[in-house]
């Protein structure tokens, strides 16, 4: 197994290099850079501008800039220096990445906790009233755009708070400045954690809705197919309890496609969470990315793309390992 993981990681190096080369070239093709705004200011000394270009390596050819950045990533784990913040890129993007991971992690957990039981229920009770109602909700979740659903949820939160006369639901943001009458920094860690979880309620529901809807339909279809197999009919003919047939014999085989889809779920959720983060003022990857693009902060942009590419790689590897755990027929050497 460890040999397989090592081989996969080595094979993914060319993919990583190719993706980052493409991103770096596209960024460099765009007119201007982070120093351009100083050039447009007549009060800024020209020599100071040249020193800044030399400091950040912007006076070198594009291949030399990329080679220097890539060597720093591979050999030192150094993502470069932010041209806008004048500090290490990782210190700039660390918190937005962690914030997005909170949102994506909770959304992933909610998706699987809800989608699998609902998919099993819909398959076992095919064409029942409950199945039809859940099918309608699934198509609703697939059809409604995330940003529009986020606006609806914000309106709903405001409506609830107004009618209750108190703040029952959060309206944007990730944290409160004061907790229990004291500044957030001085509050206990459990209070800070609960504050983040409370603020994440609406964004998590919005982000999870589309992914949940798709997985419900996949789970239902897989369960219907598995329940029609010969070995399931044989188990029922032998008098095996229906719950045992559904959850032990059928579910384990039906869940395999869902496990295989984890590889694309993480980057997909991050992409889906992007507009939600903007609409609901969640300080995650997408707002940081938009700010970096606005400032033409090359290395912050590359750092965020690098993390997204890494998540895709890790997600694909994780799905392969989970497939081997779920399906005993799969073995990696």
Domain assignment of residue 212, yes or no: yes
Percent with pLDDT over 70 in the chain? 89
Cβ contact 292:304 at 8 Å: yes
Of the candidates 295, 274, 262, 305, the one whose C-alpha atom is nearest the C-alpha of residue 112 is: 262
For 132-151, write each residue's pLDDT tens digit.
Answer: 888 888 778 778 888 888 89
Per-residue pLDDT reduced to its tens digit, 193-230 = 888 899 899 999 888 887 787 788 888 888 888 888 88
Q: Does the residue 187 lie in any domain?
A: yes
Residue 245, pLDDT score = 80
State the pLDDT at residue 47. Answer: 77
Q: Average pLDDT of 47-57?
A: 75
Spatial separation of the C-alpha atoms in residues 254 and 321, rounded to whole Å: 17
pLDDT above 70: residue 102: yes
Q: What is the domain extent for residue 169? A: 105-280+305-326
What pLDDT was estimated at residue 159?
Answer: 92
CA angle, 321 then 324 then 325, to 5°: 90
CA gap 103, 284 in Å, rounded: 9
- Which H or E run contains 147? helix 146-164
Whether 300 maps to a domain, the answer reads no
Within 8 A by CB and 6+ apart from 17, the residues are 70
β-bridge pairing 178-179 and 182-183: antiparallel
Cβ–Cβ under 8 Å, residues 220 and 226: no
pLDDT for residue 329: 62
The confidence score (pLDDT) of residue 333 equals: 59
Could you tell me which residue, 43 or 50, shows the higher pLDDT?
A: 50
Pair 90, 184: CB distance under 8 Å: no
pLDDT at residue 131 above 80?
yes
Contact 167, 199 (CB under 8 A): no
Residue 89 lies in a domain: no
Torsion of CA 315, 320, 326, 329, to 10 degrees: 170
Average pLDDT, the chain: 80
167 lies in some domain: yes
pTM of the model: 0.80
Radius of gyration over alpha carbons of the chain, in Å?
25
Residues facing residue 88 across a β-bridge:
81
Residues 44-69 have a mean pLDDT of 78
- Give Dmax (Cα) for the chain: 88
Q: In the chain, how many domains are there?
A: 1
Confidence of residue 100 (pLDDT cuts 50, 70, 90): confident
Q: Is the pLDDT of residue 328 over 70?
A: no
CATH number at residue 199: 1.10.3720
Residue 110 has pLDDT above 80, yes or no: yes
56 token code pair: 């950040």
Summarised one tens digit per residue, pLDDT across range 242-293 is: 778 887 778 877 877 776 666 656 666 666 677 888 888 888 888 888 888 8
Judge whether 90 lies within some domain: no
Mean pLDDT of 225-241: 83
Q: Residue 9: inside a domain, yes or no?
A: no
Range in 91-105, 181-195, 237-251, 254-268 with the lowest mean pLDDT = 254-268
- pLDDT value, residue 266: 62
pLDDT for 332 equals 60
pLDDT at 118 over 70: yes
Whether the per-residue pLDDT at 17 is higher than 80: the answer is: yes
Is 319 inside a domain boundary?
Answer: yes
Euclidean distance between CA atoms 253 and 233, whole angstroms? 15
* H and E: helices and strands count for the chain: 16, 2
229 φ/ψ angles, rounded to the nearest 5 degrees: -75, 160
Asked whether the beta carbons of 122 and 213 are under 8 A apart, the reply is no
């Amino acid at each position: 197994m460890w040999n397989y993981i090592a081989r996969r990681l080595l094979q993914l190096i060319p993919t990583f290099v190719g993706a980052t080369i493409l991103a770096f070239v596209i960024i460099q093709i765009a007119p201007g850079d982070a120093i351009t705004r100083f050039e447009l200011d007549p009060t800024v000394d020209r020599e100071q501008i040249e020193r800044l270009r030399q400091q950040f390596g912007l006076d070198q050819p594009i291949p030399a800039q990329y080679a220097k950045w890539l060597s720093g990533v591979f050999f030192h784990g150094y993502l470069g220096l932010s041209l806008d913040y004048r500090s290490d890129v990782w210190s700039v993007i660390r918190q937005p990445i962690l914030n997005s991971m909170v949102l994506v992690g909770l959304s992933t957990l909610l998706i699987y906790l809800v989608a699998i039981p609902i998919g099993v229920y819909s398959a076992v009770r095919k064409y029942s009233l409950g199945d039809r109602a859940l099918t309608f909700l699934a198509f609703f979740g697939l059809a409604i755009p995330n940003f529009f659903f986020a606006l609806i949820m914000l309106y709903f939160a405001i409506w609830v708070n107004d009618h209750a006369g108190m703040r029952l639901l959060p309206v944007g943001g990730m944290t409160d400045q004061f907790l229990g009458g004291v500044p957030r920094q001085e509050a206990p860690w459990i209070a800070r954690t609960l504050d983040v979880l409370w603020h994440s309620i609406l964004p998590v529901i919005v982000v999870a809705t589309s992914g949940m809807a798709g997985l419900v339909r996949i789970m239902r279809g897989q369960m219907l197919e598995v329940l029609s197999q010969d070995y399931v009919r044989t188990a029922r003919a032998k008098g095996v309890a229906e719950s045992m047939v559904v959850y032990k014999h059928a579910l384990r085989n039906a869940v395999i496609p869902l496990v295989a889809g984890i590889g694309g779920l993480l980057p997909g959720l991050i992409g889906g969470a992007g507009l939600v983060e903007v609409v609901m003022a969640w300080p995650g990857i997408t707002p940081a990315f938009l700010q970096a693009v606005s400032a033409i902060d090359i290395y912050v942009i590359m750092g965020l793309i690098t993390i997204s590419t890494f998540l895709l790689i890790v997600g694909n590897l994780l799905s392969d390992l989970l497939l081997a755990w779920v399906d005993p027929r799969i073995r990696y050497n």
